[in-house]
Amino acid sequence: MNYRTDISAHQNRWWFLLALVALFMQGVCAHADNADMDPTLREKAQRAVDAGIHYLRYQQAEDGSLSESVGLTALMVRAILEAHRGYNEGDGAFITRPVNFILSHVNEDGSISETNQNRSYNTAVAMVALQATNNPAYADVIRNAQRFLQGLQIDSEEGYEPDHKYYGGIGYGGDERPDMSNLYLALEALSKTNLDLEDPVWQRAQIFLSRTQNLKSVNDQNWAADDGGFTYAPGFSPHDGTPSYGGVTHAGLISLIFAGVDKTDPRVQRAYDWVRANYTLDQNPGAPNRQGLYFYYNAFAKSMAAFGETTITDTNGNSHNWREDLATKLVSLQEDDGSWVNHDSTRWWEGNPHLCASRAVIALNQALNPHLWAK
């Protein structure tokens, strides 16, 4: 008997069996996901994704960019690569050109941005886009970008101790004040690019998260309310005072999950209770005039997928299939040319259809495949 051949054959059979099990489990998950959405609605949502991608593809400049922006271009790339069609760089220039545009703005400090003002935001969404290509050629770029984001986190190296309200936060990179929007996107990028959960960035982030959550049991700031939702930054909201509102509450909820906080933790549960008490897809709850609506849809989709329950029972006892509700709403809001835009408020760039279309497609992709948040 050839011992090496026998062991090799045994290993091959073992890996073959593992592959079969993996394929079986993928099929089971896909079947369960499909069962959670009406087939007719699923087909409409997929067509909406296709139309959105078609719109975005033909909005690209000659260099592949959208609006000459790394951030917008990266969101578009992610929207395309996470879609149900399984697109990849082998499908041609409508993917490779925007990827190359992103790579052309890699800086010596590891950031990926065409501007100093939005370096954190741009770097984070660019990392997620590059990771979505599954191309190992970008590993060094991603690793350096991780280090850049880690370096932006406010801690003792900048003279901030854990008792300071900004400790553990991340801002735009050109703005010295951290906020929930940038922290959430940075944590998403670090999570999706597999930063070790033992890295201190996660524990520091949890300290900042505690000071943006309206939860007296964890928030040591005297302004904090006790509804479990999140506000934009410690002691500040763009909507007057420090109220909880939808977009950042969903950002806070998924940030806790990215940081390794268990679903049963009171911080997660109380944030989810806020979602239950304010369940709606007609507006960004707590924000006037539908401000930040597509940011809300995007964060809503990711956080609900991460929480892992398709059915949400609101505090009035009404049950909602969030995936069907979100898909129905976004399909209804799509423009004839395949785009989306916030007609009620242009605040935070939501008058830009490039931004809204990318966010809408990403949210629809999540509704169609709720496992994307963890990939």
Question: What is the average pLDDT value for the chain, to the nearest integer?
Answer: 92
CATH annotation of 45-374:
1.50.10.20
pLDDT of residue 353 exceeding 50, the answer is yes
What is the domain partition of the chain in residue ranges? Answer: 45-374
Residue with tokens 């010596």: 108
Name the band, by pLDDT with cuts 50, 70 and 90, for residue 39: very high
CA distance 206 to 99: 32
Q: Write the CA distances from 145 to 95, 149, 173, 206, integer angstroms.
A: 21, 6, 13, 21
* Contact (Cβ atoms closer than 8 angstroms) between residue 81 and residue 87: yes
CA distance 93 to 149: 29
Q: What percent of the chain has pLDDT over 70?
A: 90
pLDDT at 375: 84
Arithmetic mean of pLDDT, 349-359: 97
CA proximity to 323, closest of 290, 283, 281: 281
pLDDT at 33: 66
pLDDT tens, position by position, 185-241? 999 999 999 999 999 999 999 999 999 999 999 999 999 999 999 999 999 999 989
Q: What percent of the chain has pLDDT over 90?
A: 87
pLDDT at 6: 44
What's this model's pTM, rounded to 2 decimal places?
A: 0.91
Stretch (H or E) spanning 158:
none
pLDDT tens, position by position, 1-35? 443 344 344 444 543 444 444 445 445 445 556 77
199-205's contacts with Cβ under 8 Å and 24+ in sequence apart are: 199/150, 201/150, 201/153, 202/258, 202/259, 202/260, 203/168, 203/259, 204/153, 204/155, 204/167, 204/168, 205/153, 205/168, 205/169, 205/255, 205/259
pLDDT tens, position by position, 264-302? 999 999 999 999 999 999 999 999 999 999 999 999 999
pLDDT of residue 59 exceeding 80, the answer is yes
pLDDT at 32: 54
pLDDT at 156: 93
CA distance 375 to 373: 6
pLDDT tens, position by position, 158-190? 899 999 999 999 998 866 799 999 999 999 999
161-170's contacts with Cβ under 8 Å and 24+ in sequence apart are: 162/207, 165/211, 165/221, 165/234, 165/235, 166/208, 166/234, 167/204, 167/207, 167/208, 168/203, 168/204, 168/205, 168/206, 168/207, 168/208, 168/209, 169/205, 169/208, 169/233, 169/234, 170/120
